[in-house]
């Protein structure tokens, strides 16, 4: 199922806590990857022969796709119903177990989510995408050391096509536990593989801002914008950094870009509310 996915917006921005926000994005990345692999709007399962029942594996995949689609529209009751049907039909399918982990985590049933992700990792032990998903779950549930170890295993897998994503995730995982030194090391390793990686540049800028190195934070913002399309997050970092540096015109310029280019973003709402942290 897959691709590790670039981490996209998964909820509210936690002001002043950039690492925590990206931990939440790990969950969104797993769901986005699953949805991408299974198509954005899978149709309901149709039995091609009304006189013959579908094979259990086929039925399980159809129910799994429907569970993902119901998750996408936040109908969690139907998502749970569909994934539990899929588990009954093909409990040994690692993709079904992984999807069950995602569904149960969204339902905040962490024991069931843990069981499903563990089963997925056992059944799909040679699939780096499934291991990447399980590592993200470990990080989100406070097991940073285990998550880091698994992310590195994924990054070193020769068949994994985006090792920089696993390294970024390892940095996020450690940063969420307070280890910002090693987090920065992993972000730089990700940039060694993909020099223009936007999330790694953003995270380095956020770390620099958090430790009070505003000049370095601004350098990271400028480096990001020189090679990537702007995002509300990087412009917000630029706005706050210029405020700290005392460059009022520079801050106004970043603020104007947020309001013009991302008027519906949370950052634009914060600007309108007078929030600048």
Could you report the per-residue pLDDT of 46-63, keeping only the tens digit for each? 555 555 556 889 999 999
Could you report the per-residue pLDDT of 98-126, keeping only the tens digit for each? 999 999 999 999 999 999 999 999 999 99
How big is the chain by its Cα radius of gyration, in Å?
20
**Which of 164, 130, 168, 119 minimizes the C-alpha distance to 148?**
168
pLDDT of residue 13: 30
Q: What is the pTM of this model?
A: 0.76
Instruction: Give 160-222 as a DSSP string.
Output: -S-HHHHHHHHHHHHHHTT-HHHHHHHHHHHHHHSTT-HHHHHHHHHHHHHTT-HHHHHHHHH
pLDDT tens digits, the chain, 277 residues: what are they? 444 333 333 333 333 344 545 555 555 555 555 544 444 444 454 555 555 556 889 999 999 999 999 999 999 999 999 999 999 999 999 999 999 999 999 999 999 999 999 999 999 999 999 999 999 999 999 999 999 999 999 999 999 999 999 999 999 999 999 999 999 999 999 999 999 999 999 999 999 999 999 999 999 999 999 999 999 999 999 999 999 999 999 999 999 999 999 999 999 999 999 876 5
């Amino acid at each position: 199922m897959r691709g590790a996915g670039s981490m996209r917006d998964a909820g509210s921005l936690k002001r002043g806590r950039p690492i925590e926000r990206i931990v939440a994005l790990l969950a969104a990345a797993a769901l986005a990857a699953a949805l991408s692999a299974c198509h954005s709007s899978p149709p309901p399962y149709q039995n091609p022969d009304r006189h013959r029942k579908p094979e259990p594996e086929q039925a399980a995949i159809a129910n799994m796709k429907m569970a993902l689609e119901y998750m996408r529209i936040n109908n969690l009751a139907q998502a749970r119903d569909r994934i539990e049907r899929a588990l009954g039909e093909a409990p040994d399918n690692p993709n079904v177990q992984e999807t069950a982990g995602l569904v149960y985590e969204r339902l905040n049933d962490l024991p069931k989510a843990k069981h499903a992700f563990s089963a997925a990792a056992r059944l799909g032990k040679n699939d780096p995408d499934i291991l990447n998903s399980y590592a993200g779950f470990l990080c989100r549930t406070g097991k940073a050391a285990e998550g880091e170890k698994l992310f590195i295993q994924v990054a070193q897998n020769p068949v994994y096509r985006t090792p920089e994503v696993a390294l970024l995730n390892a940095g996020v995982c450690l940063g969420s536990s307070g280890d910002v030194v090693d987090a920065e090391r992993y972000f730089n390793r990700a940039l060694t593989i993909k020099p223009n990686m936007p999330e790694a540049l953003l995270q380095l800028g956020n770390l620099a801002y958090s430790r009070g190195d505003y000049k370095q934070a601004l350098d990271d913002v400028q480096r990001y914008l020189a090679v990537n399309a702007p995002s509300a997050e990087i412009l917000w970092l630029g706005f706050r950094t210029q405020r700290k540096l005392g460059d009022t015109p520079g801050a106004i310029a970043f603020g104007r870009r947020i309001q013009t280019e991302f008027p519906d973003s949370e950052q634009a709402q914060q600007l309108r509310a007078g929030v600048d942290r």
